[in-house]
Structure 1
Amino acid sequence: MTVFFTADTHFGDHRTINIWRRPFPDTATMDALLIERWNAVVTDDDEVWHLGDVARRPSDVPSLLERLRGTKHLIRGNNDPDGTLAAAGWASVGDYAELDLEGRRLILCHYAFRAWNGQHRGAINLHGHSHGRLKPMPQQFDVGVDAQSFSPVTLDQLLARAAR
């Protein structure tokens, strides 16, 4: 099992194409590429932590989750109404999580922090929300699709990119 992270998919949200200048002519094209890239790296045995802002319409979320591989966890974003959280298909839902993965402490939230639990003991903050436009602090990574080639990423991928 591999653990992946992503955020800010904004499925079906035309505003995201305009505001963040995503290179898609329409939401159908954007959604198809996001699903294709997700399923190209995630298997049914993998786990995905989505750090918020899933879709424009909560009513679309159950069918999207059925099409996306892996066991899916949601950390709520500012554009995730109660209907998104209640959708069938989430293994867990919360506003914040702390995980131990590969010997590292991960602090997960939709928002980037200036300070976080364990920051000075090597804990890593993974977040979304900023769409790749926020200069990260050390040990902090934007896992949103705009910052990660529209694909979920692993901790190893994030750390390897930071080392370059």
Structure 2
Amino acid sequence: MATWFTADTHFGHGSLRALLRRPFLTTAAMDAALAEAWNSAVSPDDEIWHLGDFAVGHKDPAALLAALNGTKHLVAGNNDPPEIRALPGWASVRDLVELDLDGQRLVLCHYPLRSWNGQGRGALNLHGHSHGRLKPLTRQFDVGVDPRGYRPVRITDLRPPRTAA
């Protein structure tokens, strides 16, 4: 089982597609490409943390979420209204999460944080919201689809693996 991270998919959000100049001819093409990238990376047994802004204006977000692989957690963003938060496909819905993954402390939030718990002790802040347009702090990573090739990522995709001393 692998653990994946993504954010800012904005399924169904045509005006954002145009605003960010995402390389898709239509919103339907964007949605299909994002779903295909998700399912080609994430297996049904994997865990995936979506760090906010899942779908905006999508016709059937419940069916979309059900069609995406993995055990799905939502760390809600500013474009995740109660209807999105209440979708039955989420294993959990929270605003901020702290977890340990393979010995690495992570602080997950939709928003890039200025400071976070464990920052001075090696904890990483994974976030979305900025669509790759914000210079990160040390140990801070935007896992949104825009700066990450429109696909989910693993911790190993963000930084080299830790080596024993």
Bin of the TM-score, shorter chain as denominator length: over 0.9
* Aligned-partner Cα distance in 2 for 1:134–1:75: 19
| Secondary structure of the structure 1 residue equivalent to 2:92 | strand
**Residue 106 (str. 1) matches residue 106 (str. 2):** yes
Cα displacement (A) at 1:15: 1.2
Q: How many residues align?
A: 161
Cα displacement (A) at 1:70: 0.3
Residues 2-60 of structure 1, C-alpha deviation per residue, up to 9 Å, x if partnerless?
A: 00000000001001112111111111000000011001110011000000000013762
Q: What's 1:47 paired with?
A: 47
| Secondary structure of the structure 2 residue equivalent to 1:97 | strand
Structure 1 unaligned segments of length 5 or more: list them. Answer: none
Cα displacement (A) at 1:75: 0.5
> Which amino acid letter does the alignment assign opposite residue 127 of structure 1?
H
In 1, are the aligned partners of 2:104 and 2:123 still within 8 Å (CA)? Answer: yes
Larger fraction in helix: 1
* Aligned-partner Cα distance in 2 for 1:116–1:58: 33
Alignment RMSD (CA, Å): 1.2
Deviates more, 1:51-60 or 1:93-102: 51-60
In 1, are the aligned partners of 2:12 and 2:58 still within 8 Å (CA)? Answer: no
Percent same amino acid among aligned pairs? Answer: 58
> Which amino acid letter does the alignment assign opposite residue 64 of structure 1?
L
Q: TM-score, normalised by structure 2?
A: 0.95
In 1, are the aligned partners of 2:53 and 2:80 still within 8 Å (CA)? Answer: yes
In 2, are the aligned partners of 1:12 and 1:27 still within 8 Å (CA)? Answer: yes
Q: What's 1:94 paired with?
A: 94
Q: TM-score, normalised by structure 1?
A: 0.95
In 1, are the aligned partners of 2:48 and 2:70 still within 8 Å (CA)? Answer: yes
Q: What's 2:125 paired with?
A: 125
Q: What's 2:159 paired with?
A: 159
Q: Which runs of 4+ in 1 moved over 2 A?
A: 57-60
